[in-house]
Chains A and B, each alone.
Chain A
């Protein structure tokens, strides 16, 4: 199981990045239209295009808010019940942003097992065929 983690260093001060993450209007201009408010427990939504299995609404709740270091909120939409967090660290010349999208456990666990399961099956089939061919040659 693996979370989605994206790390990005930007040449902007941390306070400025924090503003872009926690001001509803700014958040809307680079992420999605929303009614976010920087308050613990605040429930809000992001609005995007609907897709099969997804009505286009991401339902969120602010879980953590530690200015100007960390903000985390739930991210529920389509088959997902996940958590998104941003960590901001000051680095020389700017800010390191660590985005983590966590909680794919159920879905993620299943998919590799399906792919691997089938990989194994065909591998075994090939090995068996090879083995039988070898036996045949040896005989």
Chain B
């Protein structure tokens, strides 16, 4: 398994509600930091900081155009999250099997 530094971890990147809202808006199309600041109602420097986290995690692409930079979502990276939740579902199924086995042992 490849080692991922915390900064590059997509799971950590999406743990923040504002970053999830940014991704949500970028799904609709490319956005600039200024546009996102307006849409989220938070200051541009905060959006820039959040964008840096998303970029480090490889979740967004940037495209400079003139004096502006447009950001877009890299969806493939985020699909890992769906797999992760599916694993949790399997986890609980297995744990309940273990609970049943435990109960059977207790009765003996």
Contacts and interface: CB of A to CB of B under 8 A. Distances in A.
A16 B106 contact: yes
Output the residue of A10, A12, A30, A109 with the most chain B CB within 10 A: A30
Given A52-B9, A101-B88, A16 B103 contact: yes
B103 A6 contact: no
Interface size class of A (residues with CB under 8 A): 20 to 34
Interface of A: 4, 6, 8, 10, 12, 16-17, 19-20, 26, 29-31, 52-54, 78-79, 97, 99, 101, 104, 106-115, 117-118
Contact of B85 (A26, A107, A113): A107
A97 B102 CA distance: 15
Contacts of B42: none
Per DSSP, chain A at the interface is helix
Contact of A20 (B10, B27, B92, B102): B102
B85 A104 contact: yes
B23 interface: yes
Interface string B40-59: 00000000000000000000
Lowest 9 CB-CB distances: which A-B pairs, in order?
A: A53-B11, A79-B15, A30-B98, A30-B102, A53-B9, A111-B82, A52-B4, A79-B11, A30-B99
